[in-house]
Chain A
Amino acid sequence: MAVKDRIPPIERNPHERAKDFFEVSLGYDEERAILEAQRCLQCPVPTCVKGCPVGIDIPGFIKQIAEKNFENAYKILKNYNSLPAVCGRVCPQEVQCEGACVLNKTGKPISIGNLERFAADWASKNQVSDQIKIEKKKNKKIAVIGSGPSGLTTSAELAKKGYLVDLYEVFHTAGGVLVYGIPEFRLPKNIVKKEVGFLEKLGVNIILDIPVGFAIQPQEILENYDAVFIGVGAGTPKFMNIEGTELNGVYSANEFLTRINLMKAYEFPKTDTPVKFAKKVVVIGGGNTAMDAARSALRLGADVTIVYRRSENEMPARKAEIHHAKEEGVKFLTLTQPVRYIGKNGKLIGVECIKMKLGEPDESGRRRPIPIEGSNFIIETELAIEAIGTQSNKLLLSQFKGLELNKWGYIKADEFGRTSIPKVFAGGDIVTGAATVILAMGAGKKAAQAIDEFLS
């Protein structure tokens, strides 16, 4: 069978979409989904499944789409993944399922992410009710701390098994990075809201505004619950800590995005939380968060330049996001490293940078950037947004005595999330360091199984 071309999703015109926060990709319509699904070779030993952190029966759900059984496709997905509408949008499929697709050898892999999203959106649009099979109530209580991807998954899995789950969140909205980090134009918040609503249907008791460790002591949690899952993420931003970091106009990407996503600052003064609307913005970093910050700044009307110290090849962001950013008009300045912020009356007016060249590969396998002496130059800008990574959030951990951490400050846990305290489990970024939504969900799922075994 001849391999047909990959079917592209419907995307909004870059010039139009770069002015608002509505979703960029509209995904597939039925016709496109079926055409793409029909490209799947239905391998007897599917390599794509091995590339999926939660082991979805990928050929299975794709076959259902090809045969127009969209509801069945959704049900297969939902068996493995409680958040298909989210994962279809934000998973890095190119290094997971799609990266493992055999079609890579002869052409373009199946667009598994878009198909997943299609099935989930179709089910939502057609009000397919989730068949909720909840096992007999177990009369055992679990505390889940943090309502990001790992916490949501663990809660859902345990609630289905009949456990009483209290899910604690410190923010005023559940969803973790899905609500404060990932912008509306990439992941509409009503999707997250719907998934959180599903948890409530399962009987999960969501308790917002609680800083566990401060409002509830770890000792009380240990006494009152049969098991505890910690999924508090790696949300504390790092700064390069170069001269001028305190200047007004220097943001962490986390702050910039939280103001926009969680606090809806893009609607200021209709909403109360402000964010600086600038003519010129420099975003520092090459990951997905850098792309999100850059594209958000663009939507607030700025001329945006991404500054990255290696070359575009080494950028950790998804290729699709880099492509989207470029299409919308974000400029890229690679092999460039900021060395100093320049301010006037406490306000940022420029970033001094130095040119870099690539040397030998470092421990990450990427070629190490080396400064070129004497190549310093200044970029004039009103805002600089640092998206250079995050670290372990110590809010809870600083209070949780006896919980062993590794040398980077993350929780020591095995692959099932078991920590140094018998009834305490952990997963997601607070164990691995900043990673992806789907890996956190995978960790949450495994921990839920381990908690079930621990309590059986």
Chain B
Amino acid sequence: MNLSNLIVEKKKLAYGIHMFWIENELVAKNAKAGQFVIFRAYENGERIPLTIAGIRNNTFRVIVKAVGKSTYELCRLKEGDKILDVVGPLGQPSEIKKYGNVLVIGGGVGIATIIPIVKELKNHGNSVDVILAARNKDYFVLEEEFTDVDNLYYVTDDGSKGMKGFAHEMMEKLLKEKKYDISWAIGPSLMMKACSEVATKYNLKVWVSLNAIMVDGTGMCGGCRVRIGNELKYTCVDGPEFDGRLVDWESFNTRLIQYREEEKLALEKYLEKVGEPTWL
């Protein structure tokens, strides 16, 4: 078993967005679209959940967005370095089968996350339309991997590529013209919430992937709990994908910022130590 957790390839895709290919045979062999891994980069480091965004031989890919101390530090690692702990694959895989017409929306780092889902949906004979949304044209990470989709639409906040506006606006535009059997919307939680509202309006099932704060990722702590309809679910073992129409977005979004003060403090202290994060 090769569980070296070696970084065999690393690339900066945009400012603060880095791609890693990690060698771990068990993750590579067993991962299915929609699942995630947990990293602990070093001793006393946090456990960080990251969605698996591709498999190649004995390696798997994740995209890291630098938002705080732990992810800054992760992005600082180089090819040839090792991740101290990699746990996975975890979570329930995406429900992939032949649906017919499928709409998949990826926003920000979510663009990378939808790649395995789109690929599997195509493998199952679906017609797949994709909306990629980013703040500007420089943030369409890995867009070259969407060549075999049926229709590809771009949306940017500033209009530098594709439609100027937001993902859910493009979604609504498409839903007015075309009938879809199911959809996925993965990206920042505000985008997922807005897309879920559109999906509700058009009575379309929408899978979202929730990036809740986790500790263990194995159902042991309940920190990632989220209200889905009337039920309390654990994102790590029941998710990470849920029907966005049923997610209680208000409490989900509030829970995402519960450690904001601590995160700020940790980052400040870290930056005092390392200086300007030039590597981002």
**Given the interface contacts A245-B225, A263-B47, does A214 sit within 8 Å of B89 by beta carbon?**
yes
A365 to B24, CA, bound (A): 51
A263 to B3, CA, bound (A): 23
**Given the interface contacts A214-B88, A247-B251, does A252 sit within 8 Å of B46 by beta carbon?**
no
Q: B216 near A: Cβ within 8 Å?
A: yes
Q: B167 near A: Cβ within 8 Å?
A: no
What are 25 sample pairs from A and B whose C-beta atoms fall under 8 A apart? A170-B87, A170-B216, A172-B84, A209-B85, A211-B89, A236-B222, A245-B225, A246-B227, A246-B251, A254-B220, A254-B221, A255-B215, A258-B215, A258-B221, A269-B262, A272-B45, A272-B69, A273-B47, A276-B258, A346-B251, A346-B254, A394-B219, A394-B237, A395-B218, A395-B237
Against A, the Cβ 8 Å flags (1 = close, 0 = not) of B1-43 are 0010000000000000000000000110010000100001000
**Taking each of A267, A271, A395, which has the highest tally of chain B beta carbons within 10 Å of its own beta carbon?**
A395
Contact B216 A269 (CB under 8 A): no
Which residue of chain B is the closest to A268 with respect to CB atoms? B262
Contact A272 B221 (CB under 8 A): no
Closest 7 CB pairs of A and B: A346-B254, A255-B221, A274-B262, A246-B251, A248-B258, A215-B26, A252-B222
Enumerate chain A residues within 8 angstroms of B88, measured Cβ to Cβ.
211, 214-215
Q: Which of A260-304 contact B (CB under 8 A)?
A: 262-264, 267-274, 276
Enumerate chain A residues within 8 angstroms of B250, measured Cβ to Cβ.
346
Which residue of chain B is the closest to A274 with respect to CB atoms? B262
Q: A91 near B: Cβ within 8 Å?
A: no
A103 to B158, CA, bound (A): 82
Contact A273 B215 (CB under 8 A): yes
Q: B248 near A: Cβ within 8 Å?
A: yes
A225 to chain B, nearest CB (A): 14
Q: Which of A44-98 contact B (CB under 8 A)?
A: none
Q: A241 near B: Cβ within 8 Å?
A: yes
Which residue of chain A is the closest to B35 with respect to CB atoms? A214
Q: B104 near A: Cβ within 8 Å?
A: no
Contact B86 A239 (CB under 8 A): no
Q: B188 near A: Cβ within 8 Å?
A: no
Against B, the Cβ 8 Å flags (1 = close, 0 = not) of A159-181 are 00000000000111000000010
Contact A237 B222 (CB under 8 A): yes
**Given the interface contacts A210-B26, A241-B232, does A172 sit within 8 Å of B85 by beta carbon?**
yes
Q: B159 near A: Cβ within 8 Å?
A: no
Which residue of chain A is the closest to B270 with respect to CB atoms? A269
Against B, the Cβ 8 Å flags (1 = close, 0 = not) of A226-268 are 0000000001110101000111110110110011001110011
A171 to chain B, nearest CB (A): 7
A262 to B248, CA, bound (A): 30
Enumerate chain B residues within 8 angstroms of A259, measured Cβ to Cβ.
215, 221
Q: Which of B96-138 contact A (CB under 8 A)?
A: none
Select A217's contact among B30, B47, B70, B216, beta carbons within 8 Å: B30
Which residue of chain A is the closest to B261 with respect to CB atoms? A274
Q: Which residues of A contact B (CB under 8 A)?
A: 170-172, 180, 208-211, 214-217, 235-237, 239, 241, 245-249, 251-252, 254-255, 258-259, 262-264, 267-274, 276, 345-347, 393-395, 398
B32 to chain A, nearest CB (A): 10
Q: B201 near A: Cβ within 8 Å?
A: no
Contact B219 A236 (CB under 8 A): yes
Q: Which of B237-280 contact A (CB under 8 A)?
A: 237, 248, 250-252, 254-255, 258-259, 262-263, 265-266, 269
**Taking each of A171, A210, A214, A268, which has the highest tally of chain B beta carbons within 10 Å of its own beta carbon?**
A214
Contact A269 B266 (CB under 8 A): yes
A273 to B42, CA, bound (A): 12
A269 to B271, CA, bound (A): 13
B3 to chain A, nearest CB (A): 8
A270 to B85, CA, bound (A): 19
Contact A215 B70 (CB under 8 A): no
Enumerate chain B residues within 8 angstroms of A394, measured Cβ to Cβ.
219, 237
Select A208's contact among B30, B85, B265, beta carbons within 8 Å: B85
B72 to chain A, nearest CB (A): 11
Enumerate chain B residues within 8 angstroms of A264, measured Cβ to Cβ.
44
Q: B170 near A: Cβ within 8 Å?
A: no
Select B225's contact among A211, A239, A268, A346, beta carbons within 8 Å: A239
**Given the interface contacts A263-B46, A346-B251, does A246 sit within 8 Å of B237 by beta carbon?**
no
A393 to B27, CA, bound (A): 21
Enumerate chain A residues within 8 angstroms of B89, measured Cβ to Cβ.
211, 214-215
Contact A273 B221 (CB under 8 A): no
Against A, the Cβ 8 Å flags (1 = close, 0 = not) of B32-73 are 000100001000111100000000000000000000011000
A209 to B47, CA, bound (A): 12
Q: B195 near A: Cβ within 8 Å?
A: no
Enumerate chain B residues within 8 angstroms of A171, measured Cβ to Cβ.
216
**Given A170-B218, A252-B223, 14 other A-B residues pairs in contact with their CB atoms under 8 A:** A171-B216, A172-B85, A209-B3, A211-B88, A215-B27, A236-B220, A245-B225, A255-B222, A259-B221, A267-B44, A269-B265, A272-B69, A395-B237, A398-B237
Against A, the Cβ 8 Å flags (1 = close, 0 = not) of B74-88 are 000000000011111
Contact B218 A393 (CB under 8 A): yes
Q: B185 near A: Cβ within 8 Å?
A: no
Which residue of chain B is the closest to A263 with respect to CB atoms? B215
**Given the interface contacts A210-B26, A239-B232, does A269 sit within 8 Å of B269 by beta carbon?**
yes
Contact A393 B85 (CB under 8 A): no
Contact B220 A180 (CB under 8 A): yes
Enumerate chain B residues within 8 angstroms of A273, measured Cβ to Cβ.
46-47, 215
A383 to chain B, nearest CB (A): 11
A271 to B47, CA, bound (A): 12
A258 to B214, CA, bound (A): 11
B43 to chain A, nearest CB (A): 9
Q: B90 near A: Cβ within 8 Å?
A: yes
Select A216's contact among B26, B252, B265, beta carbons within 8 Å: B26
B94 to chain A, nearest CB (A): 15
Q: B192 near A: Cβ within 8 Å?
A: no
Q: B141 near A: Cβ within 8 Å?
A: no
Enumerate chain A residues within 8 angstroms of B35, measured Cβ to Cβ.
214
Contact A254 B85 (CB under 8 A): no
Select A248's contact among B226, B248, B255, B266, beta carbons within 8 Å: B255
